[in-house]
Structure 1
Amino acid sequence: MENKRRFALVGTGNRGTTMWGKDLLAGWRGQVDLVAIADTNALRAERARTMIATNAPIYGNVDTMLAEARPDLVIVCTPDSTHDDIVVRALEAGADVITEKPMSTTVEKIRRILDAEKRTGRRVDVSFNYRFAPTAARIKELLNSGEIGRITSVDFHWYLDTRHGADYFRRWHAYTERSGSLFVHKATHHFDLLNWYLDSDPDAVTAFADLQMYGRKGPFRGPRCKLCPHKNECDFYLDLEADPFLEALYEDPSEIDGYFRDGCVFREDIDIPDTMVANIHYRNNVHVSYSLNTFQPIEGHHIAFNGTKGRIELRQYEDQPWEMPEEDVILLIRNFPKGRPGVERIAVQHSPGGHYGGDDRLRNMLFKPDAKDSLGQRAGARAGAMSVLCGVAALQSSRTGKLVRLADLMPELFEDEFCSLSRSAAQISASAGRQ
């Protein structure tokens, strides 16, 4: 195929090696060609290349890679705080960019990316795969249909279990300087879903956050799980040798960069919260109550949209200590049925693949030439910026005790011209239909 996207993969951790490496080539080889891999850790890159099953050359320097491989697309899967440098270099070299979420971690880094995209005329896509999950898409359709009238408030609560949640505290995510905190790294998914569902921008945030389980709250600590004298008594002990994939990508490569995949979750220098709540006010006057918990016995979320004509509610389980059916059930509850059912139970079957099929649908949208975007699921740089900005505001509010207005952090993101350029025809149509 002559119009294959010639892409370079920057960052060969778990997500880069699987989602944007092995899996992308396995399912979309007719649309893409991997022409380069870049990583500062040569051994990790070599092992990732073997896992991906490619002969693409490896580079230790992004600028050299851009000059020699000349990709027309760069996929960025490095630690969050490094995204802006790589994205900007790729744009300036004439390539489009797909970046893992979050797009960046600070206001200054957001501004750099937006300015570079505008200056170069290239495109940035942000990997918000939750928009593409079948259940999320069905909820968006119901909201667009006006079934519950004008939305007035949302209850949104996300739960990470003691396997997934703890993993953020083992890794580089545990430092605000690297991840922006989980208000940015993890919640960027959730804030983006809200922005997309509500077809509006967050206006103001108040938040509370604390460290209640991990870090200095722990009863003991060690240098890392592998060398820890408390491994037999620690509930969070991770045995890398039991996971050949993680061990291959991280254990021997740690001798090069000193990055241990099994870092102690009780390290005293961890500076991000593990328990977070936020109240968010939207420009269309929707009120949101949000929370994120990182040490639960369950994984998943609860979301409910309260409207003038009814309520849409979902309790999605992703992992739990009991068996669940292979479907989600959305409740559509009407205030005034008038001959219609007071409640409809709408079953949505899980699809195979990551995020219940959301990963595959995202890649289809980005790489299949006939992909249609009737729900406005494809997320550009402004969507990436807005979700990060909401997380930055939440973290700032939790640390200062004050309400934070997003327009005070980045006024240009709320200018009418910028707002109008960001909205797709599908979003505009959907918004008009609800008025």
Structure 2
Amino acid sequence: MENHSRRSFLYSLSMLAAGTALTSPLYGFSTTKKLKLVLVGTGVRGISFWGKRLIEQYPDKLEFVGLCDINPGRVAYAKKFMGASCPTFTDFDKMIKEQKPDLIIVTTKDAVHHEYIIKGLKYGCDVLTEKPLTIDEDKCQQILAAERVSNKKLIVGFNYRWGPYVTKIKELLAEGAIGEVTSVDFNWYLNTHHGASYFRRWHGLMNGGGSLWVHKATHHFDLLNWWLDSDPEEVFAYGALEHYGKNGPFRARNCRTCDHKKDCKYYWDITKSDHDMRLYVDNEKYDGYLRDACLFRNEIDIYDKMSAQIRYANKAVVNYSLTTYSPFEGWRLAFNGQKGRIEAWTDIPFFKNENLSQAELHAAEMNQNLKGDTAVEPVILFKNWENFKTINVTSERGGHGGGDKRLHDKIFVNPNAADPLKHSAGVRDGVMSVLIGVAARKSIQTGQPIKIANLTDLKPSANRV
């Protein structure tokens, strides 16, 4: 009976991954039987958002039965920080064989997501992975193949979809407020706090995160795919490394040992964070990973300036750009349709004559406890030959616009709830968002437009299933 209950629950979970409305009874959650979780990859996102918060918010729904990381010191600290009582492992296979989890949560370095996803599916577990799904087309294809022969499913943690502000945009588009969408302008600005942080970490290397075309822009491409309800068809892009890396005026191994602390505007003192010191610095001796590595080191090989044009299967055209050293953090968006236009933005300071502290704004967005301030942001709806309408939406600055906690609640509290706007994301969503970034990289390298259909065996669809 217990095995039947577990199968029934995991079937419901797999339907969530596919974005299907759930009708099966929820057997897996009860006060006597909890969902058994393991976490592989105990970096800050894993142990906070997918670790400590789950333990604190859903103690009657789930329990961690194992934590795994290649760094034994980091996984030991993760257990204490999360307040978990489970064993820790440096051997993933040993953990799965001994603990027999229901669900594996993957929050490792992006480049090895595929290893744990594929192993997890082969072990007969459902898998939930942080975005991005992986970093290149070959790994995407491996994941697709593994998922198809498995009777398990894969959930991709696309949290931005769940925020109230982006949901309002989706609602307007879905109801045809501006008719058929013909083109989109989407500009994302990372400030000199947030943008710089990627170049300090493993994300600054192409073989770690696939560049910000994949690690960061996957968020944005998934939003576009979801908003347009269509798959990307072709990508042409430009990109360069002109600010960070070898372009810096001086460099060192890391900030703590740098001789230019007084001169470098990007100097970051990790010693001011007890959490970062315990999680990262105390455990450098095991794997040599420096959380405060110099963002001007020569080995950085990703782009810091990026622009792409994306043609969708439904013939909509998107102009996208990502800036990584902006004076302010935020984004601007415009949809052009046959019957009108939608304009939207968040945190553009001069629109409200605000003088926000960019350091505090970055801290609020990175707040893993999801207690960021609320803000009212407008969505402007123009209809041809009519006056424009301002729709005010209350959003949240912490937790990816309020999407983080809503994603958690959908998975662990209300998996049977209707999903009319298709917020839930599965393997196809993960692959299509990654492939835009992969195509952008290939376009920069070749100087040619790249067809999405040539990258994996998934063929773009004008209307997403």
TM-score (norm: length of structure 2) = 0.87
Of the three residues 417, 440, 445, the one matched with 1:399 is 445
What's the secondary structure of 1:355's corresponding residue? coil
**Which letter maps to 1:314?**
A
Within 2, Cα distance between the matches of 1:5 and 1:373?
Answer: 22
Corresponding residue for residue 385 of structure 2: 336
Q: CA 1:356–1:382 in structure 2 vs 1: closer, same or farther (change >3 Å)?
A: same
Within 2, Cα distance between the matches of 1:265 and 1:184?
Answer: 19
Answer yes or no: is 1:350 the counterpart of 2:395: yes
> Quick check: 1:301–1:315 contact (8 Å CA) kept in 2?
yes
Within 1, Cα distance between the matches of 2:280 and 2:424?
Answer: 32
Within 1, Cα distance between the matches of 2:406 and 2:60?
Answer: 16
Deviation digits for residues 300-348 of structure 1 (CA, Å, limit 9, x no counterpart)? 11011110111111111188843897111111111122xxxx1111111
Corresponding residue for residue 211 of structure 1: 241
> Quick check: 2:232–2:460 contact (8 Å CA) kept in 1?
no
Corresponding residue for residue 14 of structure 2: none
What's the secondary structure of 2:133's corresponding residue? coil
Answer yes or no: is 1:383 the counterpart of 2:413: no
Of the three residues 199, 211, 215, the one matched with 2:229 is 199
Q: Percent identity?
A: 44
Corresponding residue for residue 104 of structure 2: 74
> Quick check: 2:374–2:395 contact (8 Å CA) kept in 1?
no
Answer yes or no: is 1:307 the counterpart of 2:337: yes
**Which letter maps to 1:21?**
G
The Cα shift of 1:353 comes to 4.9
> Quick check: 1:202–1:406 contact (8 Å CA) kept in 2?
yes
**Which letter maps to 2:229?**
D
Q: Give the stretch that moved more between structures: 363-372 or 55-64.
A: 363-372
> Quick check: 1:79–1:179 contact (8 Å CA) kept in 2?
yes
Within 2, Cα distance between the matches of 1:345 and 1:264?
Answer: 44
Matches within 5 A, 1:153-302: 153-302=183-332
> Quick check: 1:298–1:321 contact (8 Å CA) kept in 2?
no
Corresponding residue for residue 43 of structure 2: 13
**Which letter maps to 1:169?**
F
Deviation digits for residues 49-102 of structure 1 (CA, Å, limit 9, x no counterpart)? 111111111010110010001101000000000000000111111111110110
Within 2, Cα distance between the matches of 1:254 and 1:170?
Answer: 15
Long gaps (5+) in structure 2: 1-29, 358-372
The Cα shift of 1:26 comes to 1.3
Q: CA 1:203–1:3 in structure 2 vs 1: closer, same or farther (change >3 Å)?
A: farther
Q: Give the stretch that moved more between structures: 327-336 or 376-385.
A: 327-336
Deviation digits for residues 10-53 of structure 1 (CA, Å, limit 9, x no counterpart)? 11101001100011111122222111100111111111111111
**Which letter maps to 2:436?**
C
Long gaps (5+) in structure 1: 424-435
Q: CA 1:415–1:280 in structure 2 vs 1: closer, same or farther (change >3 Å)?
A: closer
Q: CA 1:170–1:302 in structure 2 vs 1: closer, same or farther (change >3 Å)?
A: same
The Cα shift of 1:372 comes to 2.5
The Cα shift of 1:144 comes to 0.4
Answer yes or no: is 1:413 the counterpart of 2:458: yes
What's the secondary structure of 2:319's corresponding residue? strand
Of the three residues 319, 322, 329, the one matched with 2:356 is 322
What's the secondary structure of 1:267's corresponding residue? coil
> Quick check: 1:171–1:261 contact (8 Å CA) kept in 2?
yes
> Quick check: 1:351–1:357 contact (8 Å CA) kept in 2?
yes
Within 1, Cα distance between the matches of 2:384 and 2:61?
Answer: 48
Corresponding residue for residue 53 of structure 2: 23
What's the secondary structure of 1:414's corresponding residue? coil
Of the three residues 102, 123, 126, the one matched with 2:156 is 126
Q: CA 1:277–1:352 in structure 2 vs 1: closer, same or farther (change >3 Å)?
A: closer
Deviation digits for residues 267-317 of structure 1 (CA, Å, limit 9, x no counterpart)? 111110100000000000001000000001111110111101111111111
> Quick check: 2:343–2:380 contact (8 Å CA) kept in 1?
yes
Within 2, Cα distance between the matches of 1:271 and 1:149?
Answer: 42
Q: Give the stretch that moved more between structures: 76-85 or 368-377.
A: 368-377
Within 1, Cα distance between the matches of 2:35 and 2:166?
Answer: 28
The Cα shift of 1:247 comes to 1.3
Within 2, Cα distance between the matches of 1:413 and 1:169?
Answer: 32
Within 1, Cα distance between the matches of 2:160 and 2:214?
Answer: 16
**Which letter maps to 1:288?**
V
What's the secondary structure of 2:282's corresponding residue? coil
What's the secondary structure of 1:261's corresponding residue? coil
